[in-house]
Amino acid sequence: MTESSYRSIPIIALQRLFGLILFLVLLYVANHLAFFTENPLNYQIIQFLNNNIWLIIVMSITFLFGEVFNALIFPFNLPAPLFNASASVLLVAFLFRIFSLIDIILDEQILLIFNRIAFIVYPLVFMMVLIGGYIAILVKLSKTDESESLQGKKYKEKTREKLTWENVGDEFKQTIFDLLTLMRQSINKKN
């Protein structure tokens, strides 16, 4: 993956939190404007959003955690598919609630079938997103391993020639330094 495709964690968090706060402000304004309009459809949609506000917030925060973990490098990005899969199930649950609202508004039972298949769809969506996320991590890892393999071979040959018992302490220090450098690089990645 190229350097320009990485995103900074603070930028990701600020963008997602700004979007959530903007949604909450717009919902707040819509709640106050609903008293001035006498449209029952408008009132029903605003009530629907008010009733599902916690689902929307939890879903947004879960997607945020998934995106933040996905921005990290390999060992630290492993929780990302779990968060994304959980958030996807919440998204599907929210979509099913929207379908129920449409049924109520239309006074029909057209979309009621989605409530009947929900117990199949939730685990299916979770597993698909989870497996897809781990496959994406492995593909990304294999692409970065290919580009770094030449540098790694040169470094290994160089260290094998110099490795003695006196250098073991230096090697341990270098390993700790490399680990901390990788952590710092994954946090400081820029757009």
Decide: 137 and 81 in contact? Cβ < 8 Å. yes
Q: What is the pLDDT of residue 3?
A: 42
Among 64, 68, 60, 124, CA closest to 90: 60
Of the chain, the end-to-end C-alpha distance in Å amounts to 13
More confident residue, 151 or 25: 25
Between residues 81 and 150, the one the model is more confident about: 81
Q: Does the pLDDT value for residue 103 go beyond 50?
A: yes
Please count the structural domains in the chain. Answer: 1
**How high is the pLDDT of residue 1?**
41
Range of the domain at 84: 3-187
Q: How many Å apart are CA 154 and CA 65, to the nearest integer?
A: 37
Whole-model pTM: value is: 0.69
Per the prediction, the chain carries an average pLDDT of 81
Residues 6+ apart with CB under 8 A from 127: 85
- Dist. CA 188–CA 71, nearest whole Å: 10
**Residue 82: per-residue pLDDT:** 94
